[in-house]
Amino acid sequence: MKLRGKDSDKELGAASRTSKQLIFMEPTLNESTRPNLIPEMGPGAESPVDDSDAIGMLLVKGGFLSETQLTYARRVRSKLSSSKTLFSVLKELEFVTETQLHETLAANPGTIRLGDLLVELEVLQKTQLEVALDLQHGQAGGKRLGEILIERRFIDSEKLSEVLAIQCGISQIELRFGDIDKKLLTKEAYRACCNHVFVPIHRKDGHAVVAFADPTDDKSRTVAARLFGQDLIPAIASWRAINEVLSAYERGTKEQQTASANDSEVVRFVENMFSDAVKEGASDIHIEPAKEHLRIRFRSDGVMIPYKELGKELLSAVTSRIKILANADIAEKRRHQDGRLIYEDRETGTGIDVRASFYATVHGENIVLRLLSRKNGMLLQLEDIGMAPRMMERFRDDALDIPSGVIIITGPTGSGKTTTLYSCINYLNDEEKSVITAEDPVEYMLDGVSQCSINPKINVTFEETLRHIVRQDPDIIVLGEIRDRFSAETAIQAALTGHKVLTTFHTEDSIGGLLRLLNMNIEAFLISSTVVCVVAQRLMRRLCVHCAEPYVPTPLDLRRLGIGLDALKGASFKHARGCSHCRFTGYRGRVGAFELLILNELVRDAILNRRTSYDIRRISLETSGLVTLVEDGLVKAARGETSLREVLRNLPRLHKPRSLQELRRLTGESR
């Protein structure tokens, strides 16, 4: 709603027209003929006119407002019952904009006093300003107005910085410790920065850029000029941001001193931790601070195993050491961070790519280190991933060896999808094919494959990469993961144009992968015409060959499986006892359970008709030779490779398993 005074709409229309015609019709006054609308004011001098009028006169002087419009706005304001500022009236009448005000004040820095500007911009109430000024006059120490306003919570430090930037006509910046040039922030400079609330950021064209909390403070400007040169470039940052940066610098200095005192011990400990993790075949290292101690655990064979417990006093040194290796900010403890490092194992000569995640908790930073071997020899051949013989034969013949289509490998995090994906790439990669990937990140290096690692920091995003990938004339496209509708549509469109596409997905089983594509609003006819195969998988712990013992399923096991004892005839189940070879866990290594869905015509027709997951699963079981995850796990447990406990713990039980004899026929497994 626009403001209206008691004057007629006709007069307002005339004023509005005057505003629009001002630039073209109003004669321009030069400096000799224009009256001095804004008298010069020294520091702390009282303004001879109301600052609302002062802003209006500045806008007239800058050519953004006519005298007629200013007079009309004053009249409207005088007749309002509410206490609106003159600038808000001008803005609502659409005579001026905030941008024009900013330009005017930038051209006349320091002309309007801070308190009056805060009120005029309606950031502060006039009564609040009066209270703050009374407090300022009554204090012997002479605190600055901005400090008092923040202390009394009349305004936050960010908003104050924004208005100060407008008042002084200099830029406001968002300050972060990582942006600070450590060469400028010396010990001497640090003390001065704390006393006068400013901080140097970096050098630009040979001049130091310095962020001030209050650039109108002459003493702060003088001290900064002495430290960084008279030609420094001033900027504005909030009190809070500057104090945070200075606190981070102090913490970092103390940590470096502590780390240097125990440098050799901490370096040796971290080195040994990585070495032990590699020997144990760990996939992750978890460094977890508690209230009184520091716990370190390895994830081995999919489960957490204890490694060491340390005193809480070592947390800071260990964290700093890992952050230095991972190129993370050692001074930042309140925000989550990511990093990456390469660890070279001295004994084996194996390069380990380590992804580091730092997660801020109430007891300190929780660190998780994901270990990814960079050695090509660590990749499994397709025949070695653990797929049953008949299942593997169908996977090769009906999925990998056909010229186009989408192959999806699905399962939760840590189910071995990436290993299977790379095994497929290894199988398909030869001199006659062009293979290109988009991964986040690249986990294994493959010769002859064009691999791209996503890096949003330099704008190498997943979306940007997918737009360019088809222009590289590939035969086979590998997408690290389908994460949204855009990546799903890209995979489908690439398959429609004759490419073979391999990708991963996060769903419970193979049917769930198809349904999730439907839920992403991918057309059913596109899914049925492009997806050729969905592989669902899980990893179960493999029984230790040294201590595994025969096991007879209990009635509870049979009830949970939904199967009778007679259906398990010929099985040789075993369970874990534990020995020194397996760290008394009973397990060593892992074995995969797979569910292979090859889409035949009946399954495609069920997708086109948007049948339920139950119907699609039933049709797949009856017509496509589908063996479910729990059935494949049951066959492997019956051979003594894993335990029934692992089958029940890891695999979804969505229907009653068929007899062991029938499952062996379907999978091609021998007794």
Does pLDDT of 350 surpass 60?
A: yes
| pLDDT value at residue 82 | 65
Report the pLDDT averaged over residues 102-127. 77
Report helix, strand and coil shares of the chain as percent, to nearest 5: 45, 20, 35
Spatial contact of 638 and 568, defined as CB atoms under 8 Å apart: yes
- pLDDT value at 543 more than 60: yes
What is the predicted pLDDT for the residue at 239? Answer: 79
List, in order, residues 6 or more apart from 425 with CB less than 8 Å away. 435, 437, 446, 449, 476, 478, 502
Residues 6 or more apart whose CB falls under 8 angstroms from that of 141 comprise: none
What are the tens digits of pLDDT across the range 334-347? 889 988 888 877 76
In this structure, which amino acid lies at residue 515? L
pLDDT at 25: 31
Confidence (pLDDT) at 260: 52
46, pLDDT greater than 70: no
Residue 18: pLDDT above 50?
Answer: no
Q: What is the pLDDT of residues 231-247, one digit of tens each?
A: 888 888 887 788 888 88
Task: Check whether 109 has a pLDDT greater than 80.
Answer: no
Between 159 and 626, the more confident residue is 626
Over residues 187-214, mean pLDDT: 85
Alpha-carbon span 664 to 129, nearest angstrom? 84
Identify the DSSP state of 520.
T
Q: Tell me the three state secondary structure of residue 438.
A: strand
Residue 521 has pLDDT above 80, yes or no: yes
Task: Indicate the helix (H) or strand (E) that contains 372.
Answer: strand 364-373
The amino acid that residue 653 corresponds to is R
Give whichever of 133-142, 264-273, 313-322, 533-542 has the largest mean pLDDT: 533-542
Separation between Cα atoms, residue 407 and residue 420, nearest integer Å: 12
Nearest one of 156, 166, 192, 151 to 113, comparing CA atoms: 166
Closest CA to 110 of 35, 41, 36, 37: 41
User: Please, is 502 exposed, middle or buried when counting C-beta atoms within 10 Å of its C-beta (0-12, 13-18, 19+)?
Assistant: buried
- Give the pLDDT band of residue 375 (cuts 50, 70, 90): low
Q: What local confidence, expressed as pLDDT, does residue 670 receive?
A: 67
The CA distance from 352 to 447, in Å, is 18
d(CA 153, CA 240): 13
Strand-pairing partners, residue 537, are 594
Q: How confident is the model at residue 257 (pLDDT cuts 50, 70, 90)?
A: low
Are 429 and 364 in contact, with CB atoms under 8 Å apart? no
Cβ-contact 500, 403 below 8 angstroms:
yes
Q: Which residue has the higher pLDDT, 35 or 123?
A: 123
Q: What is the pLDDT of residues 552-572, one digit of tens each?
A: 999 999 999 988 888 999 899
* Structural contact between residues 476 and 428, judged by C-beta atoms closer than 8 angstroms: yes
Q: Residue 599 — very low, low, confident or very high, per pLDDT cuts 50/70/90?
A: very high
Percent of the chain at pLDDT above 70? 87
Q: What is the phi-psi region of residue 38: left when phi exceeds 0, alpha when psi lies from -120 to 50, beta otherwise?
A: beta
CA distances from 443 to 10, 248, 282, 430, 611 (A): 73, 34, 16, 20, 37
The band of 32, judged by pLDDT with boundaries at 50, 70 and 90, is very low
**C-alpha radius of gyration, the chain, whole number:** 35
Mean pLDDT value across residues 488-515: 91
Residue 44 corresponds to which tokens in the numbers above? 């702390």
Q: What's residue 5's pLDDT?
A: 40
- Minimal CA–CA distance to 215: which of 239, 247, 251, 182? 239
CB atoms within 10 A of CB 342: 10
Mean predicted lDDT score pLDDT of the chain? 81
Q: How confident is the model at residue 464 (pLDDT cuts 50, 70, 90)?
A: confident
Q: Which residue has the higher pLDDT, 378 or 292?
A: 292
Report the length, in residues, of the chain.
671
| Predicted confidence (pLDDT) at residue 13 exceeds the cutoff of 50 | no
pLDDT at 158 over 80: no
pLDDT at residue number 413? 84
Q: How deeply is 390 buried, as exposed, middle or buried, from its count of CB atoms within 10 A (0-12, 13-18, 19+)?
A: middle
Q: What domains are there in the chain, each with its CATH number?
A: 9-167 (no CATH), 168-255 (3.30.300.160), 264-327+335-373 (3.30.450.90), 377-543+590-667 (3.40.50.300)
* pLDDT score for 663: 93
Interatomic CA distance for residues 434 and 449, integer angstroms: 7
Is 80 exceeded by the pLDDT of residue 258? no
pTM here is 0.58
Q: CB–CB of 124/115 below 8 Å? A: yes
Q: What per-residue confidence (pLDDT) applies to 288?
A: 94
Mapping DSSP onto H, E and C, the string for 310-326 reads: EEHHHHHHHHHHHHHHC
- Of the ranges 344-358, 503-517, 571-585, which one carries the lowest mean pLDDT score? 344-358
- Rounded to whole angstroms, the Cα distance separating 388 from 64 reads 79
| Per-residue pLDDT tens digits for 414-459 | 888 988 999 999 999 988 899 999 887 777 778 889 988 877 767 7
Q: Fill in the amino acid letter for 121.
A: L
Contact status, residue 216 vs residue 114, Cβ threshold 8 Å: yes
Distances (CA, A) of 369 to 22, 121, 319: 65, 50, 12
Q: How confident is the model at residue 256 (pLDDT cuts 50, 70, 90)?
A: low
Cβ neighbours for 288, distance < 8 A, ≥ 6 positions apart: 294, 295, 296, 297, 366
pLDDT exceeds cutoff 70 at 460: yes
| 3-class DSSP state of 535 | strand
Helix/strand number for the chain, H first, E second: 26, 18
- CA gap 314, 310 in Å, rounded: 7
Q: What is the DSSP letter of 398?
A: I
Please spell the DSSP secondary structure of 24-53, one letter per residue: HHSPPP-TTTS---S----TTPPPSS-HHH
